[in-house]
Amino acid sequence: MIPFDALLVVALYATLAALAVAAVALGVLYALRGRSVATQLIVVGAATVLATVSGILVISFLMLINDHDRSVVLAVVISAGLVALGVSVLLGRRLVAANRTLVEAVRADRFRPPSGRLPAELAELSRELEAAYDRLAASHEREQALETSRRELVAWVSHDLRTPLAGLRAMAEALEDEVVADQDTVQRYHGRIRVEVERLTEMVDDLFELSRIHAGALRLSRQRVGLADLVAEAVAGAEALARAKGVRLHGDVREGLPVQVDAGELGRALRNLVVNAIRHTPSDGAVEVIGEVRGGEARVTVADACGGIPEDDLPRVFDVAFRGEAARTPGGGAGLGLAIARGIVEAHAGEIGVANEGLGCRFEVRLPLTV
């Protein structure tokens, strides 16, 4: 039996020898820090074997074990160490291979997480990469849709502005040259010129509003407004249009709680919805504007008898410059009304949506209630 004191001495020398090897190993690992994990694992394996061997050599040098024991222990330690080194190499290679499949997946056009089982850290990295790619793809899609609609807007608006301008010029020239002389035609021309100028003014005004919304420059001056007043105002503003078209327009408020909104801006958004509803409803049809409080929100719905919007168009009606087939006629709208309505509602932290229902479609504006 070896005395305890001697055992302490052995432990002390073995520790010192191992620390010396560890210091060298750390230096080597530092120098190799940019190299493959496999290489670094081999260094760790070799350092473990060397630490043990150096301990044995030191205590045999101090003659704490005899030559025979030393040879036996060294043989055992070296063969076990070589096996451990082999395991390190295998582990290193597996890590390198897993990493390579991940790198290949990242290099592919569309990232798909590798199907094989990855070590926990790499699996987490793979999940994060997948989420990041999804976010990137979604934002790329949004950007492209925005770019397309912007391009379409420029094309359509320049067409929409140019056509009435050409008409205005022709009428003005005819009046100037006195090509039209009879009183009736002259009066008709003046009337048309006024109508076209009003339409162009509205369009330019809409464009200005939209650019303010997109630039985030819409400044809301909120005040407490009754839901009933908002609905009444929207209905009153479109009454003349409804009468001229023979559409029955009806407003109703079931519960008139106040909302904290910019009455001017929100009124504009609702007016756009109501005007659309009247425009797309055949004469003798009905348009209903309803204000109510449901699910802790104020809601204004505008239901019409347009016959439904094609399913494919539903998600696009709020896009800038989107106009349904029927609306792409000279004299039709510019496709700005709903984009403006959405911008204004979202600036109020509200939501806007549309669905086909009954004889037509139903636009719905949801706003947070005043706290």
Torsion 130-135-141-143 (CA) sign: negative
Query: What six digits make up the tokens of 323?
Result: 């106009």
Binding residues for ligand ATP restricted to 290-329, rule: CB under 6 A? 304, 306, 309, 317, 322-324, 327
Binding residues for Mg ion restricted to 306-365, rule: CB under 5 A? 333, 337
CA–CA gap between residue 240 and residue 259 (Å, rounded): 27
Please report which residue ranges of the chain form alpha helices under DSSP H. 4-31, 37-61, 67-107, 120-176, 183-214, 227-245, 263-280, 337-347
Is residue 276 close enough to count as binding ligand ATP by CB under 6 A? yes
Query: What six digits make up the tokens of 3?
Result: 């005395």
Is residue 102 close enough to count as binding ligand ATP by CB under 6 A? no
Given 88, 276, 281, 301, the residue binding Mg ion (CB under 5 A): 276
Q: In what order do the strands lie in the sheet with 297-303?
A: 248-253, 286-294, 297-303, 360-368, 351-357
Whole-number minimum distance, CB 308 to ligand ATP, in Å? 8
Q: Based on CB atoms, which residue is closest to ligand ATP, 324 or 368?
A: 324
**Residue whose C-alpha is closest to residue 25's, from 46, 6, 9:** 46
Q: How many chain residues interact with ligand ATP (CB under 6 A)? A: 22
Q: Based on CB atoms, which residue is closest to ligand ATP, 337 or 350?
A: 337
Query: What six digits make up the tokens of 283?
Result: 């004469």
Q: Based on CB atoms, which residue is closest to ligand ATP, 14 or 361?
A: 361
Whole-number minimum distance, CB 204 to ligand ATP, in Å? 12
Give the number of other Cβ atoms within 10 Å of residue 262's Cβ: 19
Binding residues for ligand ATP restricted to 326-355, rule: CB under 6 A? 327, 332-339
Given 361, 365, 366, 367, the residue binding ligand ATP (CB under 6 A): 361
Residues of this chain that interact with ligand ATP (CB under 6 A) are 206, 272, 276-277, 280, 304, 306, 309, 317, 322-324, 327, 332-339, 361
Residues of this chain that interact with Mg ion (CB under 5 A) are 276, 333, 337
